[in-house]
Structure 1
Amino acid sequence: MNSGILLVDKPQGITSHDVVSRVRRAAGTKKVGHAGTLDPMATGLLVTGINSSTRLLTFLVGLDKTYEATIRLGVSTTSDDADGEVVERTDASAVDDPGILRGIEQLSGDIDQVPTTVSAIKVDGRRAYDLAREGTKVELKARPVTVSRFDLLARRDAMADGLPVVDLDVVVDCTSGTYIRALARDLGRGLGVGGHLTALRRTRIGPFDLRDAAVLDGLEVAPRLLPPADVARRLFDVLELTPEQTIDLGHGKKLRVDRPDSTAPIAAITPAGLLAGLVSVSHGVVRPIVNFPTDEVSS
């Protein structure tokens, strides 16, 4: 086992960096990274890369994602989730299902979303959450995101600290950069009662599913590794190299191919089925984007 992509089911209460540290120990290498941070409160799919496969992670961050979540209406927090301090409580007993569905519809499709203040977004070179913790007022700009699915699965009426609240189980398909915490905040705000996220589980990143993820307890890395070529075939168009092309690409020589221009990455696969690199094509000439060592493969 030298290189590959490892899907991990992150447990609650630890950071994504904690997951990376544990994968490093299990894999016996320091070169481990991840694509797409999950907050400590969140659980679910975290994609990690080992050794040269960390070069693939850049191309995974922007993939669409699916989340299962629970939204509590009637309580607002500083972080828009259960880890923050409560700032307001409101009787949510008057919230009806038609109103909830209208609110969900307004937050679906192409929307402009103001990210959660307690986030990793940088403001003047500093993380927003660091500024917020210092008491600095942080104003983040709205940015376009797409929520392609926002479905209500269940509603539960409950009591919290003596006031009626409403818990909603939902599933969301969205583009990268969408804050599910912000959806909870904005849904509650639109209904006039406030809201925050009490549970979040990521179940999909692009073509990768939580059902294929490994748990951290007793983790054995090698049997769970996805070879970089297999991952690249799921994500990109493929250029099947000849033996001669494999050698020339490795030596940095110019390759000419009969295929349309493409600035999007193309996976260059060797006759042995290994990922030689990601390339683009311009005027019939193959141009390297990133190379991969074909002598470093998962076994």
Structure 2
Amino acid sequence: MIASGLILVDKPGGWTSHDVVARVRRLAGTRKVGHAGTLDPMATGLLILGINSSTRLLTYIVGADKEYLATIRLGATTTTDDAEGEILQRADPAALAAVADDGIRDGIAALTGEIEQVPSAVSAIKVDGKRAYARVRAGEEVVLQPRAVTISAFELLGTHRLAEAVDLEVRVVCSSGTYIRSLARDLGAALGVGGHLTALRRTRVGAYDVRDAADLDTLDPGTALIPAADAASRLFERFELTEQQAIDLTHGRRIHVADREVPGGEPVAAIAPSGHLVGLIEFRGKEARTLVNFPTDEIATA
């Protein structure tokens, strides 16, 4: 059995996140594969997979900030706020030509920082127990409530003026739960010409970068695997255990660390002398308890 850990995949366009998980399950020979945040089929870029017990780490990765490169097309609205939907309305050419560079920059600035964002109606958000996109496909009208998100950076990288559209190349750094296609929709609406997303690439999730990801068509899970201890150490403070502390935590007992001075409250990666991840622990004063235990039977590849 393949060891526990994370695998970074550069998802190709046209694949669903579930497709990628299914492929990696076959390649890794295990059913225990999950991902830390869906990418739409149209999107490419970083998909973080948890293998075996490291699926337990994904909960802590989902909420990390994310970075995207995207293309926003001004001049038309679509049913899905991206290029996969049907066009609802096109802007008058004169109105589109009147959109100035300063207006674009002002519109981007207005969507930067802490904002209230209405998710796309075809998002995976549940409405009365059913996914919003499923309700839309069933012909229902779906109105989602705005939610607070943080856009740390919304940078204009390039502007391309076409005959019937204006394409904006942008870079976005945002909090978890942000919809980039909603930014495209809202920017187009603010400029009076409509807008939708035509390309999206996720380049970073928290501490993990797409430059370190493997291509799906050449993926070797054993080679690409980031061992659980290394993965957890990139996410959390690393605490080196003594042999007895490792034994105590493995059996559910608390440990006492007399010289502990760092404030508690955040998960800490507890590493055994052998180098394997015992679990995630939480300090309260000088005592620590286990938050998540990791089994020892997944340390090495069989």
Provide the C-alpha distance between the structure 2 equivalents of 1:58 and 1:205, rounded to a whole number of angstroms: 13
The answer as to whether partners of 1:75 and 1:88 remain within 8 angstroms in 2 is yes
- Structure with more of its chain in helix, by fraction: 2
Provide the C-alpha distance between the structure 1 equivalents of 2:17 and 2:6, rounded to a whole number of angstroms: 15
Show structure 2 runs of 5+ residues with no match.
none
Per the TM alignment, residue 89 of structure 1 is displaced from its structure 2 partner at its CA by 0.4
Matched, 1:166 2:170: no
Per the TM alignment, residue 298 of structure 1 is displaced from its structure 2 partner at its CA by 4.6
Show structure 1 runs of 5+ residues with no match.
none
Question: What is the match of residue 203 of structure 2?
Answer: 203
**TM-score, normalising length: structure 2:** 0.95
Per the TM alignment, residue 251 of structure 1 is displaced from its structure 2 partner at its CA by 1.1
Moved more, 199-208 or 85-94: 85-94
Secondary structure of the 2:97 match is coil
**TM-score, normalising length: structure 1:** 0.96
Question: What is the match of residue 278 of structure 2?
Answer: 276
Provide the C-alpha distance between the structure 1 equivalents of 2:287 and 2:40, rounded to a whole number of angstroms: 43
Question: What is the match of residue 50 of structure 1?
Answer: 51
Letter in 2 for 1:127: R
Matched, 1:245 2:245: yes
The answer as to whether partners of 1:222 and 1:298 remain within 8 angstroms in 2 is no
Secondary structure of the 2:172 match is strand
- Divergent runs of 4+, >4 A: none
Question: What is the match of residue 110 of structure 2?
Answer: 106
Moved more, 85-94 or 99-108: 85-94
Per the TM alignment, residue 63 of structure 1 is displaced from its structure 2 partner at its CA by 0.6
* Aligned partner (choices 101, 121, 133) of residue 137 of structure 2: 133
State the aligned residue count.
295
Provide the C-alpha distance between the structure 2 equivalents of 1:139 and 1:264, rounded to a whole number of angstroms: 36
Provide the C-alpha distance between the structure 2 equivalents of 1:261 and 1:95, rounded to a whole number of angstroms: 52
Letter in 2 for 1:93: A
The sequence identity of aligned pairs, in percent, is 60
| 1:86-142 superposed Cα distances (whole Å, 9 cap, x missing partner) | 111003221110000000000001111111111000111111111111121211111
Listed as ranges, the matches of 1:1-299 within 5 Å are 1-90=2-91, 91=93, 92-159=96-163, 164-258=164-258, 259=260, 260-298=262-300
Provide the C-alpha distance between the structure 2 equivalents of 1:142 and 1:284, rounded to a whole number of angstroms: 42
Letter in 1 for 2:106: R
Provide the C-alpha distance between the structure 2 equivalents of 1:187 and 1:232, rounded to a whole number of angstroms: 38
Per the TM alignment, residue 46 of structure 1 is displaced from its structure 2 partner at its CA by 0.1
Moved more, 252-261 or 32-41: 252-261
